[in-house]
Amino acid sequence: MGLILPWLLAALLIIAALAVLAVVLTRRRRADVRTGTPLAHTDRLTTLPGYHRALLRYRALLAALVVAGLVLFSSAAVLAARPSATIATYPQTANRDIVLCLDVSGSMIDYDVAITRAFGALAEEFDGERVSLVVFNASAVTYFPLTSDYAYIRSQLERIATQFESPDGAYFDGTFFGEGSSLIGDGLAACTLRFDTPDQARSRSIILATDNLEVGRSIFTLPDAGALAADHDIRVYGINPGDTTSRDYLAQYAEEFRQVTTRTGGDYYALDDAGAIPAIVDRIGSQQATVMRGAPQLVAADTPVLPAVLALLSLASIIGIAGRLRR
């Protein structure tokens, strides 16, 4: 708590003190002037016990009036001096671009469904984030570009999830232009190029889901694509359903995948069960949020509530007391 105009408070208090002093002095000078209706022998009245009780009540009310007046004036003076509180804000939390980069080879479909569904649920909480979906097999296709239209994002994610599940899904259209399948290096490299605002200070990340069963020749190797992402300041979060003990022969690729993701500052999740995916997506979302918490900015905001309420209450009691005294 602080005051934006502390000198004003001091000035008002000094003025008030002078005013009170002036009133007291003039009253003292005026005390002897007899105006009004002259009465004699009022000691008959003033020595009555009832009068004494009334006098005590009168003095109590006067004291309350003075106190209420003091509270009113000081709270008004404090209000005039603008009480403020310094609030730390953390900007940029919702300043993210996320590209979902899904391997749509046959072995990945179950996981892709889980990821899109989980991401659709996560999109409910987004505010300011932009999301894009890229699917790849031999070649990469932008299913929808970076957008913050969450209704659209949800509908598109739902649509592709339905396509994944239907036998004649069109999700793989355009993903076979290339030699082989699951060309993960090319897929990642394509995804790094989907960020349309390289000049803006936004956090960029790619959620790359692949079993890393690369068949054929890709233009970019996975480490090359990882280096490209790192150059563009993009974090890569890897989800690898193929990295399990049942597929030990892939351990070398899995290790490579892990190293690529960690090198970009991202994370790597190996799993066997599609049911774990929503938890992982959640974790990536929140991890991103903490990572992106920028330096706190201090903002001084007016906090007039307490003095304003005090002023109102004291004003109300002044009116009440004055009414009783006038009775």
* Contact set with other proteins (CB under 8 A): 31-32, 34-46, 48-51, 53-55, 57-58, 61, 324-327
Q: How far is the CB of 89 from other proteins (least distance, A)?
A: 54
Tokens 């894009």 sit at which residue?
132
Q: Which of 182, 185, 176 is nearest to 242 (CA)?
A: 182
Q: Which C-beta is closer to other proteins: that of 49 or that of 167?
A: 49
Query: Which helix (H) or strand (E) covers residue 204, if one does?
Result: strand 203-209
Distance CA 243, CA 253 (A): 9
User: Pseudo-torsion of CA 237, 145, 136, 239, nearest 10°?
Assistant: 20
Query: Pick from 123, 98, 109, 62: which is nearest to 211 by CA?
Result: 109
Comparison of 61 and 315: residue with beta carbon closer to other proteins:
61
Nearer to other proteins, 31 or 305 (CB): 31
What is the edge-to-edge ordering of all strands in the sheet holding 268-270? 140-147, 130-136, 96-103, 203-209, 234-240, 268-270
Shortest reach from residue 25's CB to other proteins, in Å: 18
For the CB of residue 300, give the shortest distance to other proteins in the complex, in Å.
47
CB nearer to other proteins: give 69 or 265. 69
CB of residue 43 vs other proteins: minimum separation in angstroms? 8
Closest to other proteins by CB, 53 or 293: 53
Smallest gap from residue 21 Cβ to other proteins (A): 22
- The CA distance from 79 to 73, in Å, is 10
